[in-house]
Amino acid sequence: VLPVYSDFLSLISTEMASGHLTRAEALACEGVRHACHVMLYCDAQALLFGTISIRHIVLMQMRFDGLLGFPGGLVNPLEESLEAGLSRELMEEMGMAPPVSEEDHVASCYAPPSSSSSSTPPLITHFYVKKVEEEQIRALEKAGPSTAIDHGLEVLGVVRVPLYSMRDGGGLPSFLSNGFAGNARAQLLDALTRFHLVAPDDLCQALATCTQIHA
Ligand code: GTP
Ligand code: MN
Ligand code: MN
Ligand code: MN
Ligand code: MN
Ligand code: MN
């Protein structure tokens, strides 16, 4: 039985609303660590197998730990602004840094504590979404291997997110079955909904089909 649309909406809002903070509230927290990540995307027009319409390109990355995440990383707000830190991380991880500003900020929230981090301060993750031109996306995909200092180290490669669902569960359902760093999966679902990159019914269906069990 597929969950109905309202179930899907409550699922998304539960994932995002837990620990949700404004940018200002997050910056006022003491004794926490901050991390900034960005979803870069563009409009596109292509047909997979001549039939499946590719309307957008959304970038994530395969990380050193085998988990999927967005480009970005830890930022110390005492030393640099959130956006300057994000830009530094993009240079390290992608070899290029499209300008990302405060206006591109989407959400900040407490990351679920990982089992190994009982001694480290809690983490607040700041999420940005930036729409760029397709040429910029293609340039970013090329820059990593040639210029990013973290290519082959922290970052194993840039990947595109399949936004379509195939009858056998291929595409987005399979992609969502992968392992994700921190709350990157919830960030992805939020952004796909918020920026209308996948229709709510299709995303709902993909979540119902994907094989990963989530708490
Ligand atoms: P180092 O330079 O090795 O410290 O890595 P980094 O600065 O690039 O930090 P990283 O990108 O790994 O992010 C820091 C923490 O945020 C990680 O421990 C992850 O648990 C979490 N994280 C990583 N990627 C994402 C992501 O895409 N979204 C969210 N919300 N959290 C992430
Ligand atoms: Mn990094
Ligand atoms: Mn990183
Ligand atoms: Mn770092
Ligand atoms: Mn690093
Ligand atoms: Mn669209």
Indicate the domain borders of the chain: 5-209
Ligand 6 (single-atom ion) residues, CB below 5 Å: 196
According to CATH, the topology of domain 5-209 is Nucleoside Triphosphate Pyrophosphohydrolase (3.90.79)
Rounded to whole angstroms, the Cα distance separating 86 from 100 reads 8
- Regarding an ipTM greater than 0.90, the answer is yes
**One pLDDT digit (tens) per residue for the chain, 215 residues:** 444 445 555 555 555 556 789 999 999 998 999 999 999 999 999 999 999 999 999 999 999 999 999 999 999 999 999 999 999 999 999 999 999 999 999 999 988 676 665 678 999 999 999 999 999 999 999 999 999 999 999 999 999 999 999 999 999 999 999 999 999 999 999 999 999 999 999 999 999 988 765 54
Q: What is residue 2's three-state secondary structure?
A: coil
Ligand 1, residues 123, 150, 156, 180: which to mutate, most atoms within 8 A of Cβ?
123
Q: Whose CA is nearest to atom 20 of ligand 1?
A: 182
Q: Is 92 in the pocket of ligand 1 (CB under 6 A)?
A: no
Place of tokens 């994907």: 210
